[in-house]
Amino acid sequence: MRENVSNYRRGVMSLVILSLLRRGDMYGYQLVQETERASGGKLTTQEGSLYPVLYKLQEQGLISDRRELVGKRMTRNYYHLEQAGRERLTEMQAEYEELTAGVFAIIHREEAAQ
């Protein structure tokens, strides 16, 4: 069961990351902060959990990254949404909305029956 929750969370995080990157390029910690801010604190993640999802999205060709020098010695990886990522985001949004509508229909139908 725990593995299913983990897979579900990764899928949701892929959707969240692609959605955030649609707004503009962001670096890892910025994605963590923006996820919490934009969700009103309902969705939080750690950088360590975020990077495997970012790497998978890169492998799939949905996002790319670029290194940028910040200050004298520090570099940041900024992630960018590619056209393939925009197209996949549209598909993922439709799939997620359909799935959650079905789940809510079941939950609310059962609540009303009680």
For 31-81, the pLDDT digits (tens) are 999 999 999 999 998 888 899 999 999 999 999 999 999 988 999 999 999
Name residues whose C-beta falls within 8 Å of residue 76's C-beta, 6 or more positions apart in sequence.
Answer: 27, 67, 68, 70
Q: What percent of the chain has pLDDT over 90?
A: 71
In sequence order, the 6+-apart residues with CB closer than 8 A to the CB of 17 are 31, 50, 53, 54, 57, 63, 79
**pLDDT value, residue 7:** 65
Q: Residue 95's pLDDT band (boundaries 50, 70, 90)?
A: very high
Note the pLDDT of residue 112. Answer: 67
Confidence class of residue 11 from pLDDT cuts 50, 70 and 90?
Answer: confident
Residue-wise burial string across 13-47, b where 16 or more C-beta atoms lie within 10 A, e elsewhere: bbbbbbbbbeeeebbbeebbebbeeeeeeeeebee
pTM: 0.84
